[in-house]
Structure 1
């Protein structure tokens, strides 16, 4: 069951300069998004990646789009081919790209055209430590993040790891967009508490849309 933090009034909120919380904005597409995730994962299976230091992520991941985010002993980077299958990543669905563009526009970022979507699967206890999304060249483009499935606590800090961190409750269909001066703010997900969702069971899914190269680059 949801704790009191998830029972607070839910409304569009500015989280920082260029960062917005858009509650429920993807809820109408919830079922379609989840069904498409399953199709994508059938071609590029979910996997637990390693950090450069050799630790294993608690979150399982895959990608779709021109490029896919990857991590191993060699470092964090984007790959045009899935290292697991040796094949191109599945295409980024056009309806996903349109949705990401519209959500970015609502948050004040016009003309967003994602090249990659990182798909994260959280099981109970899985987490994402505070980090910056800085492996992209196109830091002028925002990050668009869609939450699906069981509730989670999104941690949103500042430009330094030691800055104060806000806890934003996320329900299925909620969206967070951050760019501009907030583009390199630290963020993460608190350990996922056991819960159930009618479409995903005990799982939480996260779609994170990124522009990797500058808008005028291929």
Structure 2
């Protein structure tokens, strides 16, 4: 049930519509696995998610994304529709209400993080242990799908988790599937001097410790850049699917 407070602000939410990740396939190739140190506490694992795991990610997100609590277009506080589709696993998060509401405006709760996604995130964290980042037990997975028309020049910080999570520098694990995305980041929040890195399908970005509060964002999606093998097996629509795992860590 939606309480009275939720009803008074429900107009800030967009109407939930069924959004499908499945479409026509296109061509592209793959990259070899590698490790890139970007900053202290920030690494890029290139092509660390296999095509078979990428296919499973798409199929899992498609399954839950079409059901209750599935994909929707979130709104900003001023009522502007954000140019991406979103859903959550584990714990509900929204750009307006943050983690304050257990239920979305349609009354649905975030489904638990699927076991296969949880296992993948934990294994990726173990890959990054040479950075000496603290281990974390993900209880949140925010799934966003950016279309190829997406462009954004602003940077943000992930500040909505608990104080213990933020002060502990618990890492954020971000997986890219589909079309490549231009990712920008800055320690000062200055867009003009932000660094840029290309996130391709199968890449994993991990940041924590001294880089946990880094300013960051997706700048642009590169059309027709997804791997052919992924598209042949999923018919993923043009765009970039991003899964971000975090540990809210109650104080």
**Structure 2 length normalisation: TM-score?**
0.74
More strand by share: 1
2:193 match: secondary structure: coil
**Unmatched 5+ residue regions in structure 1?**
none
Inter-partner Cα distance in structure 1 for 2:101 and 2:121: 21
Larger radius of gyration between Structure 1 and Structure 2: 2
Match of 1:114 in 2: 138
1:175 CA drift (Å) = 0.3
**By how many angstroms is 1:114 displaced?**
0.8
**Deviation for aligned residue 1:9:** 9.0
Q: How far off is 1:162 after superposition?
A: 5.1
The answer to whether the aligner puts 1:37 opposite 2:61 as a matched pair is yes
Deviation at 1:178, TM superposition (A): 0.2
Is 1:60 aligned to 2:81, yes or no?
no
Report Cα offsets for 1:104-156 as digits up to 9, x if no partner.
22222353211110000111111453111111111121110000001111112
Residues 38 and 155 of structure 1: CA distance in aligned 2, closer, same or farther (over 3 Å): same
1:135 aligns with 2:184: no
C-alpha displacement of 1:91? 1.1
Aligned length: 208
Contact 1:80–1:89 (8 Å) recurs in 2: no
- CA distance, structure 2, for counterparts of residue 115 and residue 161 of structure 1: 31
The residue that corresponds to 2:10 in the other structure is: none
Q: Is the 8 A contact 1:147 1:174 kept in 2?
A: yes
Q: Is residue 23 from structure 1 mapped to residue 46 from structure 2 by the alignment?
A: yes
Q: In structure 2, do the counterparts of structure 1 residues 114 and 8 end up closer, same or farther at CA, with 3 Å as the change threshold?
A: closer
State the alpha-carbon separation in 2 of the partners of residues 186 and 196 from structure 1.
Answer: 26
* 2:76 aligned residue: 51
Q: Is the 8 A contact 2:32 2:47 kept in 1?
A: no
Partner of 1:148: 177
Stretches of 4+ aligned residues off by more than 6 angstroms: 7-10
Distance change >3 Å, CA 146–CA 125, structure 1 → 2: same
CA distance in 2, matches of 1:165, 1:130: 9
Mapped partners of 1:111, 1:191: distance in 2 = 31
- RMSD value over aligned CA atoms? 2.6
Report the secondary structure of 2:95's partner residue: strand
Check whether the contact 2:32–2:46 (CA below 8 A) recurs between aligned residues: no
- Name the SS of the counterpart of 1:12 in structure 2: strand
Q: Distance in 2 between matches of 1:55 and 1:81?
A: 23
- Structure-1 separation of matches of 2:32 and 2:192: 25
Is 17-26 or 150-159 further displaced after alignment?
150-159
In structure 2, runs of 5+ residues without a counterpart are 1-25
